[in-house]
Amino acid sequence: MSNFLPISLLLLLCSTLLGTRAHAQATPVELIEHQAGNWQLLRAGESFFVQGAGGDGPVDQLAAAGANCIRTWGIGDETQALLDEAQTYRLCVVAGHWLGHTEHGFDYHDDAMLVEQRARVRRDVLRHRDHPALLLWGIGNEMEGFAGGDDPAVWAHVQALAAMIHELDPYHPTMTVTAEIGGDRVRAVNELCPDIDIMGVNSYGGLPSLPERYREAGGFKPLLITEFGPPGTWEIPMAACGAPPELTSTQKARAYHDAYAVGCLDAADLCLGGFAFTWGSKIEATSTWYGMFLPTGEKLAAVDAMTEIWSGQPPANLCPEIVSFSLTGPDIVQPGDTLRIQLQARDPERASLTARWSVTGELDPNAPPGASQPAPLELDDILRDTSINGATLIAPAGGLYRAYLVVDDGAGAAATASVPFRVEGPSGSVGIKLPLAVYEDGRPEPWAPSGWMGNYSALEMDAACNENPHNGDTCLRFTYHDPGQWVGVAWQNPSNDWGNQPGGFDLSGARTLVFWARGERGGEIVDFSLGILAGECEYCDTAFASRKGMKLKREWKRYTLKLKGKDLSRVKTPFVWSLSGNGHPQTIYLDDISFE
């Protein structure tokens, strides 16, 4: 008698063992309906009500605020690290599979696109289904668009993905996320997608009435509020100047509080919890409309409001409060007119407050909801008298502008406000406040490194390299793997534009472009320049400068391009580098690129 198992039996035993191991670490999550319309989420057998936020802000501070969950919109290389970090801080993760949007070119009637998307979702489920921090799967976010949400092809694909996920992972429920519940969304999710367990809804101003409207529309599945916060720009009347008025951060905190006090989140039998938006900062509608933090890391009053709701206790250091903030006169003026803004602010702990004022052009009012936009640049020579009591402005050339305020207590807490105004008359050049960063940690990036040239298929960019940065936490690393040919990158505004679209900035007054660079080995020969759009393009650069054949050292070195006397009225490509293969792969590092 043989001492070896038959191959077929061995394969069966291996597959059984692998199948058992596949979910050995997974924390089982169940969705229970105790009676019709009375829902409960159980995690490891215990009741779980989602108290979370979505965004890329600090996970440790989210946990310290008393939250129990974080939501993602997509799954990428960073997801494993996020799951691990969440587990460290005893948070759960709703992992969202990003689905293509038709307005971005995705076609739900294209079989090849659907097959590729399905394969990606399958891969990501298999990769992360075992993780003990995983709570449930999100399938898409507002992929139905902003119209009726009634394309059956979209919902057929969502249903197919949900069914596949249930087969691959029986331990975690599925959810899809819609933009509010208008049109055919409720019927589509509740009737056309039987394998979707939870309807996720992004709701802002309409949140208080959501349970009633949902039931009237025939909804019977449980709800999870996947985004809530202050009213959106589409939910409030425009100011006379034609731009949306923004609530102060103090007023916004009330909207976050009311989501629980008078909103959908108190409908415990129907709603499984919710996610505040956004835990971090985001440029959308304005520079400060949705962020619960500033880009520089200070928290805003929305964090205080959610901390008290999640933990039952307010934080020790509360954010400053804006008692009043207003433009004293009309918001439509002529060039050269004086505008005055009145401010009254206080600090709950009576800390000394500082006020930071700035003026920028208004963001694109026609951008679709949810779309991120480039940070607007701070304009120069508009502000006059500024203090903790207000500011005086001198109206520039014609256009739509916004004045911003940040009140800071010096201890990591801040308050924000903004007011739009329109200047009538012809548009003209308005100077940008200097220094202006092209690339620097924690600063807006008005140009994007999107102009890849030469053999760019052999080029890799790490935009968050933490390997010995010159300043801050990160720098840029470019690795070129081809020992021959050449490669280069141009920073562009708009991104991916080679002179066919208006853009760029008036940097009149800048005297130098300063940057720091080093090489992996030392001796790398690189050309650096400003401006490459010339000739017959409709929107060219107006200034050009270069330093050819610069030999990099292994240590950081400061370089400059002199700009005095140049026409900087339209800088579309502010920084360009290029190099040749030189017989071996090469790696270069860049940091702190700025106009001074």
pLDDT tens digits for range 373-388: 777 889 998 999 999 9
| Higher pLDDT pick, 337 / 502 | 337
- Asked if the model's pLDDT at residue 301 lies above 90, the reply is yes
Environment class of residue 236 by beta-carbon count within 10 Å: exposed (0-12), middle (13-18) or buried (19+)?
middle
What is the full DSSP assignment across 200-263? EEE-STTGGGHHHHHHHTT--S-EEEEEE-SPPGGGSPPPTTSS-----HHHHHHHHHHHHHTS
Other C-beta atoms within 10 Å of 275: how many? Answer: 25
Using CA atoms, how far residue 543 sits from 414, 425, 434, 546, in Å, is 39, 28, 17, 11
Look at 18-32, 43-57, 219-233, 491-505 and tell me which has the smallest mean pLDDT.
Answer: 18-32
pTM: 0.83
| Higher pLDDT pick, 498 / 370 | 498
How far apart CA 566 and CA 484 sit, in angstroms, is: 35
- Residue 59 · residue 82 · CB < 8 Å: yes
The pLDDT of residue 443 is 79
Other C-beta atoms within 10 Å of 407: how many? Answer: 27
With pLDDT > 90 as the criterion, what percentage of the chain qualifies?
Answer: 80
* Torsion angle defined by CA atoms of residues 452, 455, 456 and 462, in that order, rounded to the nearest 10 degrees: -120
For residue 336, what pLDDT band results from cuts at 50, 70 and 90? very high
Three-state SS string over 114-177 comes to HHHHHHHHHHHHHHHCCCCCEEEEEEEECCCCCCCCCCHHHHHHHHHHHHHHHHHCCCCCEEEE
The pLDDT of residue 460 is 95
- Asked if the model's pLDDT at residue 2 lies above 50, the reply is no
Instruction: Quick: pLDDT tens for 265-291.
Output: 777 689 999 999 999 998 889 999 999
Residue 355's Cα: distance from chain center in Å? Answer: 26
How far apart CA 397 and CA 213 sit, in angstroms, is: 47
How far apart CA 352 and CA 134 sit, in angstroms, is: 43
The 3-state DSSP composition of the chain as helix, strand, coil percent (nearest 5) reads: 20, 35, 45
Q: Which residues of 332-351 are buried (b: 16+ CB within 10 A; e: fewer)?
A: ebeeeeebebebebebeeeb
Q: Give the CA count within 13 Å in the CB-facing half-sphere of 274.
A: 29
Residue 233's Cα: distance from chain center in Å? Answer: 17
Ranges assigned E (strand) in 377-413: 383-387, 390-394, 399-408
For residue 22, what pLDDT band results from cuts at 50, 70 and 90? very low
The pLDDT of residue 146 is 87
Angle at 184 between CA 139 and CA 152, to 5 degrees: 65
Instruction: Quick: pLDDT tens for 384-410.
Output: 999 999 999 999 999 999 999 999 999
- Residue 482 · residue 492 · CB < 8 Å: no
The residues, ordered by sequence, that sit 6+ positions from 184 with a Cβ below 8 Å of its Cβ are 148, 149, 150
For residue 372, what pLDDT band results from cuts at 50, 70 and 90? low
Using CA atoms, how far residue 593 sits from 439, 554, 574, in Å, is 5, 18, 10
The pLDDT of residue 73 is 96
- Asked if the model's pLDDT at residue 29 lies above 50, the reply is yes
Angle at 548 between CA 542 and CA 551, to 5 degrees: 140
Q: Tell me how far apart the terminal alpha carbons of the chain are, to the nearest angstrom.
A: 85
| Higher pLDDT pick, 330 / 442 | 330
- Asked if the model's pLDDT at residue 6 lies above 50, the reply is no
Instruction: Quick: pLDDT tens for 520-557.
Output: 999 999 999 999 999 888 899 999 999 999 999 999 99
Query: At residue 487, what are phi and psi to the nearest 5 degrees?
Result: -155, 155
For residue 219, what pLDDT band results from cuts at 50, 70 and 90? very high
For residue 21, what pLDDT band results from cuts at 50, 70 and 90? very low
- Residue 176 · residue 158 · CB < 8 Å: yes
How far apart CA 438 and CA 484 sit, in angstroms, is: 29
- Asked if the model's pLDDT at residue 434 lies above 80, the reply is yes
What is the full DSSP assignment across 441-493? TTS--SSEEEEEEESGGGEEEEEEE-SS-SSSS-EEEEEE--SSSEEEEEEES
How far apart CA 199 and CA 264 sit, in angstroms, is: 13
Environment class of residue 544 by beta-carbon count within 10 Å: exposed (0-12), middle (13-18) or buried (19+)?
middle
Angle at 374 between CA 368 and CA 380, to 5 degrees: 125
- As a whole number, mean pLDDT of residues 342-353 equals 97
- As a whole number, mean pLDDT of residues 210-234 equals 94
Among 91, 79, 98, residue whose Cα is nearest residue 52? 91
How far apart CA 240 and CA 422 sit, in angstroms, is: 9
How far apart CA 199 and CA 154 sit, in angstroms, is: 15
Among 277, 262, 274, 271, residue whose Cα is nearest residue 310? 274
How far apart CA 13 and CA 23 sit, in angstroms, is: 17
Look at 26-35, 240-249, 258-267, 446-455 and tell me which has the smallest mean pLDDT.
Answer: 258-267
For residue 24, what pLDDT band results from cuts at 50, 70 and 90? low
